[in-house]
């Protein structure tokens, strides 16, 4: 275990996340298991917050990463690496699905990919706001952390609407969103885009239904809004298929990916 006095004495008290003063010092990971310095094992249900969907220390990925590090040439050969990445993305993910998306490399973080999608949507539609979803109950309102961060950077207004099932099975949250949109007197008053995750992991594990997602796509088409699928946490195979929304038949206008996109938690989005 980490000595509490070290954390209290050395580390800043300005933190993004709550942390126990007796947090475990993990020394090894393999598959879905992590082990601390005392040999105790833990199941990593979060897949390192969606960064290691293929497991800790995946042997195949480690072998490929070692091979790349041992290659002769510049470690900063970004154009060559980007070319190979786009070829793999097109050959393995887009063409087999009949999809024709442009690949836009945005940087290192999940928030960067979501922020880029929001800016593109606003430029394309000429509108200023976006819709994100929150799981509301009597005690909390939790929403996508990537969207919250992107909104805080000044990309515009974010309208938080109730997620599927937020108020129980008898309340149609899609009808609620439609009523809100119907109050807009001019098309440009409506949001530019809707950002949604198939599994809202903030504040619990909240899973939407395919019917709700298909209704959301239809609503976006009626009101001229773009549909952005936030796959930064739940995508890249974490829910089974590579894209978490594939089985719904929905066609997103943009897909934001990060975390496990590299296969080994490397910073890219």
Encode pLDDT of 74-119 as tens digits: 666 567 778 888 898 899 999 999 999 988 887 788 888 888 899 9
Examine the domain organization and report whether 223 and 113 are in the same domain: yes
DSSP H or E stretch at residue 113: helix 110-125
- Does residue 267 sit within a domain? no
| pLDDT above 50: residue 33 | yes
What whole-number distance in Å separates Cα of residue 47 and Cα of residue 151? 26
The enclosing domain of 29 has a CATH number of 3.90.1150.10
Question: Which one has a higher pLDDT value, 198 or 20?
Answer: 198
Examine the domain organization and report whether 136 and 189 are in the same domain: yes
Record the tokens describing residue 81, joined without a space. Answer: 């690496």
Record the tokens describing residue 259, joined without a space. Answer: 């975390």
Q: What pLDDT shows up at residue 24?
A: 61
Length of the chain: 269
Q: What pLDDT shows up at residue 90?
A: 92
| pLDDT above 50: residue 137 | no
- Does residue 148 sit within a domain? yes
Q: What pLDDT shows up at residue 135?
A: 61
Percentage of the chain exceeding pLDDT 90 = 29
Examine the domain organization and report whether 64 and 112 are in the same domain: no
Examine the domain organization and report whether 232 and 121 are in the same domain: yes
pLDDT band at 139; cut points 50, 70, 90: very low
Q: Among 2-11, 177-186, 213-222, where is mean pLDDT lowest?
A: 2-11
Q: What pLDDT shows up at residue 142?
A: 46
Quick one: angle between helices 173-182 and 210-223, nearest 10?
10
Record the tokens describing residue 105, joined without a space. Answer: 């490399």
Q: Which of these three, 19, 48, 69, is where a domain ends?
A: 69
Examine the domain organization and report whether 130 and 246 are in the same domain: yes
Examine the domain organization and report whether 41 and 125 are in the same domain: no
Examine the domain organization and report whether 125 and 166 are in the same domain: yes
Largest CA distance in the chain: 63
pLDDT band at 46; cut points 50, 70, 90: confident
Examine the domain organization and report whether 229 and 126 are in the same domain: yes
Structural domain span for residue 60: 4-69
What sign has the CA pseudo-torsion 30, 19, 261, 198?
Answer: positive
Question: Which one has a higher pLDDT value, 61 or 218?
Answer: 218
Render pLDDT for 200-242 as a digit per residue (tens, 0 to 9). 876 677 889 999 999 999 999 999 999 999 998 888 888 889 9
What domain count does the chain have?
Answer: 2
Location of structure tokens 């126990």? 20
| pLDDT above 90: residue 146 | no
DSSP one-letter code for 200: E
What whole-number distance in Å separates Cα of residue 33 and Cα of residue 263? 17
Q: What pLDDT shows up at residue 85?
A: 84
| pLDDT above 50: residue 39 | yes
Query: Which residues 6+ apart lie within 8 Å of 85 measured at CB?
Result: 103, 105
How many C-beta atoms surround the C-beta of residue 168 within 10 A?
8
Q: How high does pLDDT run on average in the chain?
A: 81
Q: Which of these three, 28, 54, 69, is where a domain ends?
A: 69
Mean pLDDT of 125-144: 68
Examine the domain organization and report whether 63 and 141 are in the same domain: no
Tell me the Ramachandran region of residue 181: left when phi exceeds 0, alpha when psi lies from -120 to 50, beta otherwise: alpha
- Does residue 138 sit within a domain? yes
Angle at alpha carbon of residue 237, lines to 208 and 159, rounded to 5°: 40
Examine the domain organization and report whether 143 and 53 are in the same domain: no
Residues 35-41: contacts with CB under 8 Å, at least 24 apart: 36/1, 37/1, 38/1
Q: What pLDDT shows up at residue 209?
A: 94
- Does residue 268 sit within a domain? no
Question: Which one has a higher pLDDT value, 17 or 252?
Answer: 252
Q: Which of these three, 48, 69, 90, is where a domain ends?
A: 69
Mean pLDDT of 182-193: 86
Q: Among 26-35, 61-70, 75-84, 168-177, where is mean pLDDT lowest?
A: 75-84
Q: Which residues pair with 257 in a beta bridge?
A: none
């Amino acid at each position: 275990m980490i000595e509490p006095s070290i954390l209290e004495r050395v580390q800043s008290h300005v933190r993004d996340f709550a942390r126990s003063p007796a947090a475990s010092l993990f020394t090894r990971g393999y598959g879905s298991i992590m082990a601390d310095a005392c040999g105790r094992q833990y199941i990593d249900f979060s897949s390192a917050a969606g960064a290691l969907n293929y497991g800790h220390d995946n042997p195949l990925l480690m072998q490929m990463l070692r091979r790349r590090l041992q290659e002769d040439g510049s470690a900063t050969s970004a154009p060559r690496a980007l070319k190979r990445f786009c070829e793999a993305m097109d050959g393995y993910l887009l063409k087999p699905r009949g999809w024709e998306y442009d690949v836009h490399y945005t940087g290192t973080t999940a928030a960067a990919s979501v922020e880029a999608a929001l800016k593109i949507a606003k430029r394309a539609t000429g509108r200023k706001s976006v819709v994100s979803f929150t799981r509301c109950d009597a005690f909390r309102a939790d929403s996508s952390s990537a969207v919250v961060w992107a909104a805080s950077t000044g990309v515009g207004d974010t309208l938080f609407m109730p997620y599927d099932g937020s108020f129980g099975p008898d309340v149609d949250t899609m009808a609620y969103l439609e009523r809100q949109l119907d109050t807009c007197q001019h098309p440009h008053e409506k949001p530019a885009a809707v950002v949604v995750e198939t599994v809202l992991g903030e504040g619990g594990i909240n899973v939407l239904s395919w019917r709700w997602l298909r209704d959301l796509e239809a609503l976006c088409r009626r009101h001229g809004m773009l549909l952005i699928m936030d796959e930064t946490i739940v995508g890249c195979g974490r829910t089974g298929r590579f894209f978490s929304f594939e089985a719904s038949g929905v066609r997103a206008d943009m897909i934001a990916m990060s975390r496990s996109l590299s296969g080994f938690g490397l910073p890219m989005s």
